Amino acid sequence: MTGDLLHDALVVLLVACVMAGVFPAIGGLYQYALLPVHAWRNHLGEAAPYLPNVAVLIPAWNEGAVLHASIERLMRLQYPPERLRVYVIDDASTDDTPDVVRAEAERYPGRVIHLRRAQGGQGKAHTLNHGIREVLADDWMQALLITDADVIFRPDALRRMTRHLADPTIGAVTAYIREGSRRPGGVARYIGYEYVTAQACARRAQNVIGALACLAGGAQLHTRTNLEALGGRIDTTTLAEDTVTTFLTQLDGRRVVFDGSAVVLAEEPDSVRALWKQRARWGRGNVQVTKRFRKVWFRPSRTHRLGSFGFGLVWFSTYVLPFTLILSSVGLVGLHLVEPALAGRLFGNLWWVGIAAYVYLTVTALLVDLETARRSWLEGLTFPGLGALVLIVAAGFPQFWEVVVPGWFGLRLSPDGREAWLLLLYSWPAVSMVMARVVRALEGRRAVGWLSRPLLYVVGYGPLLCAITLDAYVQEWRGAAMVWEKTVKTGKVAA
């Protein structure tokens, strides 16, 4: 009797582990279901032509290769020249950054200002605060645009952002950062597609919810009132200063909006190692934000929407994704060992959730940004990995593997082979995260380095991000030093 109870309890626990894997899919479907609502529930009705005096802050450490193009494009914006000033905060650069900025300042006197820090290396937030102190000391500035040294603004982008500030309830606006390299490699194309999902789609949905998760670090516009209410400085205690700023703005009762028609182009990492470094920092920052604002989650407020159920679902469906992948693998493998028939039925039934989420999210994302779709359609289709797509086919059409494939090749799986195949399918979500580390290890290695790119498509970009996020969580748990490592930019943006 006791044995039966333990068996039943174990089965319930394993089924719960499998069902945990559905949670992120539900969060994604919920978020994308809100996209059509954005057509009429957005801030454009309250926006109006508005051209305040804008101070642009560009933190720069050894950015000589990209600054010239960025500043030139800022000077050519469809914006009154007398209402735009660019401040480059030179973080004690050791390359030709000072020379590039001084040349631009001579060409545009009074419109390009070089601010040199004597001590650098303290991180982006400290660099920004140096510039914020300078611009707040002058009454001229009415709005502050924070961007990055490699970002290229489309001519109408700033004007599209400032129109939202005509509404006094708005504290900050963010634009759509699109991957803009001239000839992007596989990793950069994956990032391009990811930015469609995480910005063009997700942030529109968050506009509908009324709570924004993060102002894009390379394109965030603040009112002077908002900056002063934040204490005239950016948070320096976390690795996610932009997210903290976003939360504090909304918690204080000022709204934050995303404008997907304000497009800026940026150069993104084109190697797994560079991506790993960047996203590990982001992942640690998200852990810090989640803990810092723990009293906000799922606590509705009349002041803000950060505590709403919808926003909490969106935030945590992404936050726990690495754990749900592992739990689903453990649950399926465990069920296969104790209740193989139940494992097969559950695996097959959950196929409908997986295929619905994959098809709806992928098609929607590709349609939202057709320009990126033309460059990254293959990366969009293989985002979960070719291995995961095989898993989806195996779940939905088991007869394909038992009848069609043997008929093609004249081969049939032995009982042991079938067992090994099922275990691989059931454990693939966790296995793919382990394989992501193999992709990173292979990259750049002599003789075998070429294997990393095809293997990346097999593993998938999604599992790669999950592996990086899990690594970030481990670093944060171990208390690793908080080091702000910049991503090296080479000026590949198609200006």
User: How far is Cα 176 from Cα 368, in angstroms, rounded to an integer?
Assistant: 12
Confidence of residue 491 (pLDDT cuts 50, 70, 90): low
Q: Are residues 192 and 263 in the same domain?
A: yes
Task: Answer yes or no: do 324 and 289 share one domain.
Answer: no
Buried b or exposed e, range 253-272, using 16+ CB within 10 angstroms? ebbbbbbbebbbbbbbbbbb
Whole-number pLDDT of residue 118: 76
Task: Tell me: do 191 and 302 sit in the same domain.
Answer: yes
Total Cβ atoms within 10 A of residue 407: 10
Sign, CA dihedral 216-220-225-227, equals positive
Predicted pLDDT of residue 263: 96
pLDDT band per the 50, 70, 90 thresholds, residue 231 = very high
Give yes or no: residues 196 and 270 share one domain: yes
pLDDT at residue 157 is higher than 80:
yes
**Residue 14 placed within a domain:** no
DSSP string spanning 224-267? HHHHHHTTSS---SSS-HHHHHHHHHHHTT-EEEEEEEEEEEE-
Asked, for residue 4, whether it belongs to a domain, the answer is no
For 495, the enclosing helix (H) or strand (E) is none
Do 295 and 364 fall into the same domain? Answer: no
Distance from C-alpha of 292 to C-alpha of 412, rounded to nearest angstrom: 55
Please report, for the domain that includes residue 121, its CATH number. Answer: 3.90.550.10
Residues 405 and 323 placed together within one structural domain of the fold: yes
Q: What is the pLDDT of residues 235-271, one digit of tens each?
A: 999 989 999 999 999 999 999 999 999 999 998 989 9
Residues 288 and 365 in one domain: no
Q: What is the pLDDT, as a whole number, of residue 117? A: 86
For 135-145, write each residue's pLDDT tens digit.
Answer: 999 999 999 99
275 and 357 assigned to the same domain: no
Closest CA to 267 of 316, 218, 203: 218
Domain match, 347 and 278 both = no
CB 384 within 8 A of CB 457: no
Indicate the residue among 256, 275, 306 that finishes a domain: 306
Question: Residue 451's domain spans which residues?
Answer: 317-478
Nearest to 270 by CA among 495, 445, 493: 493
pLDDT tens digits, one per residue of 75-126:
999 999 999 999 999 888 888 889 999 999 999 999 999 998 877 767 888 8
Confirm whether 495 is domain-assigned.
Answer: no
Residue 340 sits in the same domain as residue 218: no
347 shares its domain with 299: no
Lowest mean pLDDT among 33-37, 337-341, 377-381, 484-488: 484-488
Q: Are residues 265 and 344 in the same domain?
A: no
Strand pairing class (170-179; 255-266): parallel
What is the pTM (predicted TM-score) of this model?
Answer: 0.92
User: For residue 142, what are the CA distances in angstroms to 111, 166, 218, 257, 424?
Assistant: 15, 12, 19, 18, 58
pLDDT digits (tens, 9 = 90+) for 184-216: 899 999 999 999 999 999 999 999 999 999 999
Give the pLDDT confidence score for residue 232 in this predicted structure.
94
Q: What is the per-residue pLDDT for 391?
A: 75
Beta bridge partners of 493: 181
Convert the pLDDT of each residue in 399-444 to its tens digit.
655 555 555 555 566 667 677 778 888 899 999 999 999 999 999 8
Residue 121 lies in a domain: yes
Position with higher pLDDT, 476 vs 422: 476
Q: What is the mean pLDDT of the chain?
A: 90
Compare 74 and 8 and report the one with higher pLDDT: 74
Q: What total number of domains does the chain contain?
A: 2
